[in-house]
Structure 1
């Protein structure tokens, strides 16, 4: 997992107009394994 994924998530959040909650953002990032597949 690299910063590219993080930037993609942040960009998606901005597009959705959502308030970025660090805890929820971390939870979402942790829901991906090393191959970038969603686990949840």
Structure 2
């Protein structure tokens, strides 16, 4: 059971990391669109 918790928390951390990268990318895209 503890192993399952470790896997789930690792997946959650990875999803948060991807979400942060996606948010930074979209901010850059929206910034470029608003300028151009």
TM (normalized to structure 2)? 0.44
> Per residue, is there more helix in 1 or in 2?
2
TM (normalized to structure 1)? 0.40
| Bigger relative contact order (CA 8 A; separation at least 6) | 1
